[in-house]
Amino acid sequence: MFRFPQRGYCFCIGDVIIMVRVELKEATKYYGERRGVEDINLSINDGEYLAVLGPTGSGKTTTMYLIAGLLSPSKGSILFDDEDISNVPAEDRSVGFVFEEYNLFPRMTVESNILFGPTVKDLNLIESRKISRELLALLNISGKEPNYPDEISGGQKQRVALARAIVSDARILVMDDPLRALDAKIREILQVELRKLVKDLGITCIHATHDTQEAMRVADRIAVFKDGMIVQIGTPEEVYNHPNSLYVAEFLGEGSTIEGKIDDIKEEKYLVLQDGSRINVETDLQKDEEAIALIPGELIDVYPISMKKKLNYHNIFEAVLLDVRCVGEFNELDLEIFGSRFKAKDLIGKEIPLKKKSKVLVATDKDDYRIFPKKEGKMINKKKSDRIINSNTQVGIDGSSVKKVKKK
């Protein structure tokens, strides 16, 4: 348990006392003509862990900078606990900021780095040193205090940066893609550590990332960004299972897309493909509307052809298994269905005797498909539409779309 002397509150592990509600109201930032973010309405509750998810250039960093005060909004306001702090300079906001490139001060030891905040704020250094020790122990890097940043590894650097941000009397923690520069394995480990630390401290935390898995692993809620605007906010489950647009669906679940027309027979909806195949789906779209369906790879179940009678699914198709690869926690299967290439993912451990180039059964339920009107799909993805839509329909390495391959 440690105590922040200046404010008179304590962070008690597992027993939360102080937290800050952060609110952005119509926050807008333009860089000259270029849009950074527009009309961001976002409210982050006390002690909540929010992930801001989006590709490079979608306004994540701008949002983080607005909250920290490194940028001031062109329009709109930012509130901490209902107090408008839009015009408070960064040095007075007490926002603990963790950068992508660590930004440790190279000429200072780990300890001086961590104590930089308390030093310039004239806090009680003895207390702060105690807190820093406890934090370093929590983060498994005790004993590195006398080292210089270039003597420790990337993962350790980011842990030090995290400790530095917290020790400087931070009211909230803002992290801008903090794990991007790290190796895959360290990233995996730190994701778990981060969430654990933030939850133990009970601090309000905003974490920007471009990595869907990372967002899912760390956050209570996810805000999906696109071109400087928020497309959807919700818990990982909500955004994943009920994406409100093709963009979100594609960003959250790597999958394959198919196009077709909606048909309905006896209350059941079907997607009719060009070659006449019918897929049972669930959608609000009406008959004859053009639609795009996306199915995440992990929702496609694959079985040997002999099991046909035993399966209980809404849709069962025959397919050709092109390739199986074991890539760690799951197997990746390349399938050819309706003349297009599909990628399926399957958790390892389940033994399926499947052979390459053999016929298999592909089984899906009707609620596995995320259906979007074709027009809207195009509209939502106005700018980068083609690239984004195609990126999941297997753009060949030479730029030609594999999808165009005709059935033999």
Partner 1 sequence: MVSEQRDIEVKMRRNLLKAENWLSKKNVLTAGKVITIVIFVLIVLGPILYLLLQILINSKEINSTVFNDPILGNEAFLMMLRSIGLSLKIAAIVTVFDILVGVPIAWILARYEFRGKNILDTLVDMPIAVPTSALGFSIYLFWGTNNGISRLFNSQVGLVSQGTFLIILAHIAFTFPYVTRSIRGIISDLDLNLEKAGKTLGASPFTIARMISLPMVKEGLLAGTVLAFTRSLGETGATLIVSGVYQTAPVVIVSWMKGLKIPTTAFLAFILILISLVLLTTVRLFARKVGLPWKKVFPRFERKLSSKKVKRSRDGVSLFLFFMFVFIPALFVIIYLFQWWGRSPFSGDPQAGMIYQVFQAPDRKFTEIFRALGTSIEIALIVTLINMVIATPMALMISKMKNKKVKGILDLLIDIPLVIPSSALGFSIFFLWGSNGMHILSPGFFMIVIAHVSFTYSYCVRPLIGSFDAIPTMYDEAATAFGASKFTAFRKVTLPFLKSGLIAAAIMTFTRSMSETGATIITMGVERTIPVLLVDFFEASTFPAAAFASTILIIISFAMLLLLRRITRRAKNE
Partner 2 sequence: MSEIRFQHVTKIFGKSVEAVKDLSFIINDGEYISLIGPSGCGKTTTLRLLAGTILPTEGEILFDDQPMQNVRIQDRNIGFVFQHFAIFPHMTVSENIAYGPTVRGRSKREIEPLVEKALKSVQMSNKANLYPDSLSAPDWQKTALARVLASEARILLLDEPLGALDQKIREEFQLFLRDLVKREKLTAIHVTHDQAEALTISDRVAVLNKGRLIQLGTPSDLIYNPNHLFASFFVGESDFLEGVIIDDSAENAEVRIGQSLIKVNNMGVEKGKRVAVAVRREFFQVEPITTKGLTNSLPGEVIEDKFLGLLRRIRIKLENQQIIEAKIHAKHPVQFKENEKVIINIDPSVTRCFDFPKEGIVSALEM
What is the binding site for partner 2 (CB under 8 A)?
Answer: 140, 153-155, 183-186, 188, 192, 212-213, 216-217, 235-237, 240, 252-253, 296, 298, 325-330, 332, 345, 347-349, 391, 395-398
Q: Name which of partner 1, partner 2, none residue 68 binds, using a CB cut-off of 5 to 8 Å depending on partner kind.
A: partner 1
Cβ contacts of 214 within 8 Å, gap of 6 or more: 51, 179, 187, 191
Helix (H) or strand (E) holding 244: none
Q: Nearest CA to 245 among 374, 377, 369?
A: 377
Least distance from partner 2 to the Cβ atom of residue 175, Å: 18
Least distance from partner 2 to the Cβ atom of residue 307, Å: 18
Closer to partner 1 by CB, 64 or 281: give it: 64
Cβ contacts of 324 within 8 Å, gap of 6 or more: 331, 332, 333, 334, 354, 356
CA-to-CA distance for 378 and 246, rounded, in angstroms? 9
Cβ contacts of 268 within 8 Å, gap of 6 or more: 280, 366
Q: Name which of partner 2, partner 1, none residue 286 binds, using a CB cut-off of 5 to 8 Å depending on partner kind.
A: none
Task: Check if the beta carbon of residue 294 is closer than 8 Å to that of residue 372.
Answer: yes
Q: Name which of partner 2, partner 1, none residue 90 binds, using a CB cut-off of 5 to 8 Å depending on partner kind.
A: partner 1
CA-to-CA distance for 195 and 192, rounded, in angstroms? 5
Q: Name which of partner 1, partner 2, none residue 165 binds, using a CB cut-off of 5 to 8 Å depending on partner kind.
A: partner 1
One-letter-per-residue 3-state SS of 222-264: EEEEECCEEEEEECHHHHHHCCCCHHHHHHHCCEEEEEEEEEE
Closer to partner 2 by CB, 38 or 368: give it: 368
Tokens encoding 145: 């205090």
Q: Name which of partner 2, partner 1, none residue 96 binds, using a CB cut-off of 5 to 8 Å depending on partner kind.
A: partner 1
Least distance from partner 1 to the Cβ atom of residue 289, Å: 49
Closer to partner 2 by CB, 310 or 350: give it: 350
Helix (H) or strand (E) holding 109: none
Q: What is the DSSP letter of 78?
A: E
Cβ contacts of 218 within 8 Å, gap of 6 or more: 49, 51, 191, 194, 195, 198, 207, 209
Least distance from partner 2 to the Cβ atom of residue 109, Å: 21
The site for partner 1 (CB under 8 A) is made up of 68-70, 89-97, 99, 101, 103-107, 116-117, 119-122, 164-165, 168-169
Q: Name which of partner 1, partner 2, none residue 252 binds, using a CB cut-off of 5 to 8 Å depending on partner kind.
A: partner 2
Closer to partner 1 by CB, 166 or 216: give it: 166
Q: Which amino acid is at 3?
A: R
Closer to partner 2 by CB, 119 or 213: give it: 213
Q: Name which of partner 2, partner 1, none residue 266 binds, using a CB cut-off of 5 to 8 Å depending on partner kind.
A: none
Closer to partner 2 by CB, 121 or 217: give it: 217
